């Protein structure tokens, strides 16, 4: 179940010319409801927590992440089993864009066309 109160703000996008990296800001206002989006992708992904705290469990380990801390999801690891410990969380998602990979949860990292128009 995806938390419908998540708000995404593109930071680095294909329209800026970014072809192999993607950055967006995620803000969730009722974060304790959780984030059930278990997924796996070729892209390497990092979460940098700006506000609030959470626990990210993957690959048999749980990482507690607070403001100014980051967690890294290696390529091919099922992840995003997340328990947020704050009502409001805000974090940066930074990931690579791999050809043929599933788009990021914010769906703004679809590979840029050869000639970007916007
Ligand atoms: Zn991911």
Q: pLDDT tens digits for 3-49?
A: 668 899 999 988 899 999 999 999 999 898 876 678 899 999 999 99
Token pair in block for residue 98: 């791999």
Q: How does residue 110 score in pLDDT terms, banded at 50, 70 and 90?
A: low
Strands 6-12 and 81-84, sheet pairing: unpaired
C-alpha of residue 107 to centroid of ligand 1, in Å:
11
- How far, in Å, from the CA of 23 to the mean position of ligand 1? 12
Which CATH number describes the domain made up of 6-96?
2.60.120.10
Higher pLDDT, 103 or 27: 27
Going from the Cα of 46 to the center of ligand 1, the distance in angstroms, rounded, reads: 8
What pLDDT is attached to residue 83? 92
Place of tokens 């916007």: 118
Alpha-carbon gap, residue 24 to 1, rounded angstroms: 21
Distance 118 CA to ligand 1 centre (A): 25
Q: How far is Cα of residue 102 from the mean position of the Cα atoms in its chain?
A: 13
Per the CB < 8 A criterion, the answer to whether 70 and 91 are in contact is no
How many A from CA of 25 to the centre of ligand 1? 14
* Dist. CA 113 → ligand 1 center (Å): 22
């Amino acid at each position: 179940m995806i938390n419908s109160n998540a708000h995404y703000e593109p930071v680095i996008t294909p329209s800026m010319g970014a072809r192999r990296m993607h950055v967006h800001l995620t803000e969730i206002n009722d974060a304790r409801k959780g984030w059930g989006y278990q997924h796996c992708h070729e892209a390497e992904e990092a979460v940098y927590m700006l506000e609030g705290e959470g626990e990210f469990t993957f690959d048999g380990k749980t990482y507690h992440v607070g403001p100014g801390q980051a967690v890294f999801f290696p390529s091919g690891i099922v992840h995003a089993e997340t328990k947020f410990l704050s009502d409001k969380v805000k974090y940066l998602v930074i990931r690579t864009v791999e050809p043929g990979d599933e788009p990021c949860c914010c769906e703004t990292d679809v590979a840029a066309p050869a000639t970007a128009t916007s």
